[in-house]
Amino acid sequence: MRYGHFDDDQREYVIDRPDTPLPWINYLGTDAYFGIISNTAGGYSFYRDAKLRRLTRYRYNNAPLDVGGRYVYVRDDETGDYWSPSWQPTPERELTGYECRHGLSYTKIASSRGGIRAETLYFAPLGETLEVWRVRVTNDRDTAAALSLFSSVEFCLWDAQDDATNFQRNYSIGQVEVADGVIYHKTEYRERRDHFAYFACSEELAGFDTSRDAFLGAYRGYDRPAAVENGVAGDSIAHGWQPIGSHHVRLALAPGETREVNFVLGYAENPKDAKFDPPGSQTLNKTGVRPVIERWLRPETVEQGFAGLRAYWDDLLEKIQVRTPDGDTDRMVNVWNAYQCLVTFNMSRSASLYESGIGRGMGFRDSNQDLLGFVHMVPERARQRILDIAATQKETGGAYHQYQPLTKRGNNDIGEGFNDDPLWLVLGVGAYLKETGDTAILDQPVPFDNAPGSEVPLVEHLRRSLRYTLDRLGPHGLPLIGRADWNDCLNLNCFSDTPGEPFQTTENAHGGVAESVFIGGLFVLAAKEMAGIAALHGGDGEKYRVAAEKMAGTVAEHGWDGAWFRRAYDFHGNVIGSGENDEGQIFIEPQGICVLGGVGLDDGLAVKALDSVAERLATPHGIVLQQPAYSGYRIELGEISSYPPGYKENAGIFCHTNPWIMIAEAMTGNGDRAFDYYRRLNPSAREAISEVHRCEPYVYAQMIAGKDAPTHGEAKNSWLSGTAAWNFVAITQWILGIRPEFTGLRVDPVLPEGWTGFEATRRFRGTTYQIRVVGAGRVTHLEIDGARVEGNVIPLAEPGAVVRVTAFA
Ligand code: BGC
Ligand code: NOJ
């Protein structure tokens, strides 16, 4: 069952009924100012950091879900009837012609009631720290209409965590100011007022409200605000409690007439050296923001801003466009998967419907992997991201697991000890170098743990990343797992030296001797990558190749179980992910990553491992993480066994890992299986079962319930997941095979049965390659602008050139 459809020409997903199984969200903003917005206008906005600079309030886990947003109310002043055109928060008011169009960084929601149509376009223009709501109201009646329009947002007192918990303080601190029709939210941010929010309207106001109590009325909700019901705003000024922003505008519309009303919600800072006179006064930098507000309330500016946003996306998406025999592939590669990759770049794991914006900031391993999916679109920003991440690395090579986007400092609450973290930096930098050829980044000075004076060239950070693994090998010569590896929930050092006494601290967890086959495979992959990087940097990379070979040998010796790769050894030296175990006999992660590192490609182990995955882990909804699921908690395994069978890391379809298997299948030449797995997860291909999948059909989710779960096939945690980047890599670089390498662009497709080629346009290092793959096998030679070239690597061309390439397969 579907709840909408793709509009491929407009690059929009059109939701045609508001009661989707879950709120289906989209993102506003492309750089510093961001927001999430659902198909019924729920969501919130923030500046740079969803925890520390939250503009508007949102209540997670509410009933109903998703109340709190950017609401507009229309009121028929003749009858007193009122409604919100976004359905929420007035769902009992019946609407006709409801439609939500989620586009690239914008959302349009429209509906009609009683012959009045309202359409609101929400977007955050490029280069500004504000969002625009463009409301168009049309009178479709054949008589004149007297209407009221109300806007509403509830302000968050900046620090979202404090805002949701510290009421003894919060109920006294809210401060607003209303000047020339603009509502300013200026609550102090503990130390001083260095920033504020504004909310403005293009029309002359009939009134306004800034006190929630005044707007809603006591004991009332957003479903029936007293001000809207009565058609009169209270001109209220909030003193503490809950500051809000609401404008009231009256509209008289002739039959057939459309009026446009614009609202602007924005973030501003006072100049750093602002002198408040007298000290501590209420002065805001109103003169600074007035011109910005006035500009963005003008319809022409709004039109231009929106056109600019559309052009920005057209340009980014042009970097890769494909035309294949499969429409779901084209749609995801050309639009939605790329879009999701850029959203994960901006958000990491911070703000979604499932990430509260206060829990997790930028993940070290997450952000490095996200980079694989967005580096081709925004290479300069990828460069900065790499430098920011590397600057949080410790001198030991160890990494903070997460850092805060606003401060860019490592997050001490979570600390370090996830022993795979440092290796992902090598892969992130490798991907950047392959895309851009910018070897200068390797010499860029980068500090350790942001400490001034500790700068070393970036390449030294990469060396330390590898060293970190080699300094921490366990009894079998495999890497120590630490707190956990990629699988956060595989906590194998749960015991201290005193049997039965669980570890409590990171320090203790470090001391454990549990080992990870996964990190072994990842090390092989990263060390080989480093050999390539070292060669670019004037070395020969030999020692990294030797280290990779040695680790590959250890993995084959102690990590092979007969028909698949083992997962780990626990604190006591017991094997995990083996036929010897009663549950958790085979895990997906090492089958993927070891093959990606090349382990088992020459001696048949890889093919065997992948056959075991097909036999034991694959389901119609994707490949589950392990089997058999753990039926109960085991202290020696940790969090993984705390999940009910079939969910999350306990045998859920943890989508992030599936593309590793797709890539591994492509590496072993099995295009059928690779593509089959790809389609099982492809959101567009799953659109028809939206009532089962339940999350948005235009983006990947982190998890789909596995076969042990009663809700097999149900997705959770959509949007912010490494699934986006890895699926993009799997389909574009390994199945379609258009793969950036240090020396050029390789064209090495491994296609499914029945395909006889495809076409692609790829912008790479300033050149546009128009690629046509002809044939169903492996590429033997290329024709580049008419000249034959043996093999499958396109040599670098002049930047600016348009090069026609035919690949004969
Ligand atoms: C989840 C993991 C997640 C981790 C982040 C765990 O509870 O299961 O998927 O990576 O929390 O802290
Ligand atoms: C989600 C985390 O963001 C990611 O870093 C981790 O690898 C997976 N969960 C698996 O546990």
Is the distance from the beta carbon of residue 649 to the nearest atom of ligand 1 less than 6 Å? yes
* Confidence (pTM): 0.96
The pLDDT tens digits for 621-642 are 999 999 999 999 998 898 999 9
Question: What pLDDT, on a 0 to 100 scale, did the predictor assign at position 505?
Answer: 43
Q: Is residue 744 part of a domain?
A: yes
Region of 241 (left: φ > 0; alpha: ψ -120 to 50; beta: rest) is left
The minimum-distance atom of ligand 1 relative to the CA of 643 is: 8
What CA dihedral angle connects 520, 524, 525 and 527, to 10 degrees?
A: 120
User: Ligand 2 centroid to 674 CA: how many Å?
Assistant: 23
pLDDT in tens, 435-492: 999 999 999 999 999 999 999 999 999 999 999 999 999 999 999 999 899 999 999 9
pLDDT digits (tens, 9 = 90+) for 355-395: 999 987 789 999 999 999 999 999 999 999 999 999 999 99
Nearest Cα neighbor of 47 from 491, 346, 492 is 346
| Mean predicted confidence (pLDDT) in 158-169 | 96
Please tell me if the CB atom of residue 656 comes closer than 6 angstroms to any atom of ligand 1.
Answer: no
Contact yes or no for 401/364 (Cβ under 8 A):
yes
Does residue 480 lie within any of the structural domains?
Answer: no
Which pLDDT belongs to residue 280?
Answer: 52
CB under 8 Å to 284, separation ≥6 — which residues? 177, 184, 186, 193, 196, 268, 270
pLDDT value at 262 more than 60: yes
- Encoded tokens for 294: 């006035």
Which residue bears the tokens 């003008």? 298
Beta bridge partners of 479: 473
Q: Would the CB of 363 count as within 6 Å of ligand 2?
A: yes
Q: What is the mean pLDDT of the chain?
A: 95
Beta carbons within 8 Å of 578's beta carbon, 6+ residues apart: 561, 566, 567, 585
CB-ligand 2 contact for 424 (6 Å cutoff): no
Two tokens, residue 628: 């058999």
Does 607 fall in a domain? no
Q: How far is the centre of ligand 1, averaged over its atoms, from the C-alpha of 522 (Å)?
A: 20
Please indicate whether residue 648, judged by its CB atom, sits closer than 6 Å to ligand 1.
yes
Would you say the CB of residue 489 lies under 6 angstroms from ligand 1? yes
- Identify the residue whose tokens are 């089958």: 591
Pocket test residue of 350, 364, 402, 488 for ligand 2, highest count of atoms within 8 A of CB: 488
Ligand nearest to the CA of 522: 2
Tell me if 410 is assigned to some domain: no
Across residues 678-699, what is the average pLDDT? Answer: 98
The CB of 370 under 6 Å from ligand 2? The reply is no
Q: Rounded to the nearest 10 degrees, how much is the dihedral formed by the CA atoms of 723, 725, 731, 736? A: -170
- Cβ(118)–Cβ(99) below 8 Å: no
pLDDT score at 283: 65
C-alpha neighbours within 13 Å on the C-beta side of residue 803: 24
Model confidence band, residue 192 (pLDDT cutoffs 50, 70, 90) = low
- 488 C-alpha vs ligand 1 centroid, how far in Å? 6
In the listed set 262, 295, 314, which residue is the last one of a domain according to the structure? 314
3 state SS of 678: helix
Per the structure block, which two tokens stand in for 566?
A: 């083992």
Query: In angstroms, what CA-CA distances link 456 with 428, 459, 460, 538?
Result: 18, 8, 6, 17
Q: Is residue 397 assigned to a domain?
A: no
**Is there a contact between 609 and 595 (Cβ–Cβ < 8 Å)?**
yes
Catalytic residues: 488
**CA 59, chain centre distance (Å):** 21
3-class secondary structure for 738-793? Answer: EEEECCEEEECCCCCCCCCEEEEEEEECCEEEEEEEECCCCCCEEEECCEEEECCE
Residue 508 has pLDDT above 50, yes or no: no
- The verdict on residue 354 lying in a domain is no
Residue that terminates a domain, selected from 314, 338, 363: 314
Closest of 332, 333, 356 to residue 717, by C-alpha = 356
Atom of ligand 1 nearest to the CA of 703: 9
User: What is the rounded average pLDDT of the residues 20-42?
Assistant: 98
Residue 504 has a CB neighbour count (10 Å cut-off) of 9
- Supply 516's token pair: 């990870």
**713 CA from centroid of ligand 1 (Å):** 20
CA 318 / ligand 1 centre spacing (Å): 34
Q: Which has the higher per-residue pLDDT, 414 or 757?
A: 757
Instruction: Taking residues 217-244, report their average pLDDT.
Output: 97
What is residue 710's DSSP assignment?
A: T
pLDDT at 504: 43
Is 323's pLDDT higher than 80?
Answer: yes
Per-residue pLDDT, 405: 79
Is residue 596, in this structure, part of any structural domain at all? no
Residues of the chain above pLDDT 70, percent: 96
Nearest CA to ligand 2 atom 5: 366
Alpha-carbon gap, residue 495 to 473, rounded angstroms: 18
Residue 630's pLDDT is 98
> How far apart are alpha carbons 399 and 410 in whole angstroms?
8
From atom 5 of ligand 1, which residue's Cα is the shortest distance away?
488
669 φ, ψ (degrees, to nearest 5): 85, 10
Q: Are 327 and 319 in contact (CB under 8 A)?
A: no
Tokens of residue 498, six digits = 């005193």
Q: What is the CATH number of the domain that holds 743?
A: 2.60.420.10
Answer whether 639 contacts ligand 2 (Cβ < 6 A): no
pLDDT of residue 275: 61
pLDDT confidence of residue 282 = 52
249-258, 327-336, 413-422, 430-439: least confidently modelled range: 413-422
CATH number of domain containing 133: 2.70.98.40
Structure-block tokens of residue 152: 């509403």
Query: For residue 514, how far is its CA from the centre of ligand 1 (angstroms)?
Result: 20
Nearest ligand to the C-alpha atom of residue 638:
1
Return the number of other C-beta atoms located less than 10 Å from residue 483's C-beta.
Answer: 25
- Would you state the pLDDT for residue 512? 82
* Statement: residue 775 has pLDDT above 50: yes
**Full residue range of the structural domain in which residue 136 is found:** 14-314
Give residue-wise pLDDT tens across range 275-294. Answer: 655 555 556 888 889 999 99
**Tokens for 557?**
């010796």
Distances in Å between the Cα of 785 and the Cα atoms of 327, 736, 782 are 28, 21, 10
The residues facing 69 across adjacent strands are 42
Sequence-ordered list of residues with C-beta below 8 angstroms from that of 270, at least 6 positions apart, any chain: 193, 194, 195, 196, 284, 285
Compute the distance from residue 609 Cα to the ligand 1 centre, in Å: 26
Both tokens of residue 174?
């809210």
Other C-beta atoms lying within 10 Å of the C-beta of residue 799: 10
**Is residue 507's pLDDT more than 50?**
no
Ligand 2 pocket check for 76: Cβ under 6 Å = no
Under 8 Å between Cβ of 122 and 234: no
- Gap between the Cα atoms of 288 and 47, Å rounded: 18
Q: For the ranges 41-45, 332-336, 400-404, 528-532, which has the lowest average pLDDT?
A: 400-404
In the chain, the number of structural domains is 2
Which residue, of 314, 345, 379, is where some domain finishes? 314
Per-residue model confidence (pLDDT) at position 287:
86
- For residue 323, the tally of other CB atoms under 10 A from its CB is 13
Answer whether residue 546 shows pLDDT above 90.
yes
Tally the residues of the chain. 809
Position 412 scores a pLDDT of 79
Please determine, for residue 506, whether its predicted confidence score (pLDDT) is greater than 60.
Answer: no
End-to-end CA distance of the chain: 39
Least confident window among 1-5, 242-246, 359-363: 359-363
Q: Residue 626 is encoded by which pair of tokens?
A: 């392990």
Tokens describing residue 120: 């609101």
Of all protein residues, whose CA lies closest to atom 11 belonging to ligand 1? 488
Identify whether the C-beta of residue 206 lies closer than 8 Å to the C-beta of residue 77. no
Q: How confident is the model at residue 274, as a pLDDT?
A: 62
Q: Which ligand is nearest to the CA of 367?
A: 2
Work out the angle at residue 313's Cα, subtended by the Cα atoms of residues 384 and 676, and round it to the nearest 5 degrees.
90
The H-or-E segment that residue 329 falls in is helix 327-331
Q: Is 32 domain-assigned?
A: yes
Give the DSSP letter of residue 687: G
Q: Is the CB of 488 under 6 A from ligand 1?
A: yes
Partners of residue 99 on adjacent β-strands: 110
Secondary structure string (H, E, C) spanning 496-546: CCCCCCECCCHHHHHHCCCEEHHHHHHHHHHHHHHHHHHHHCCCCCHHHHH
Bridge-based pairing of strands 568-569 and 33-38 is unpaired
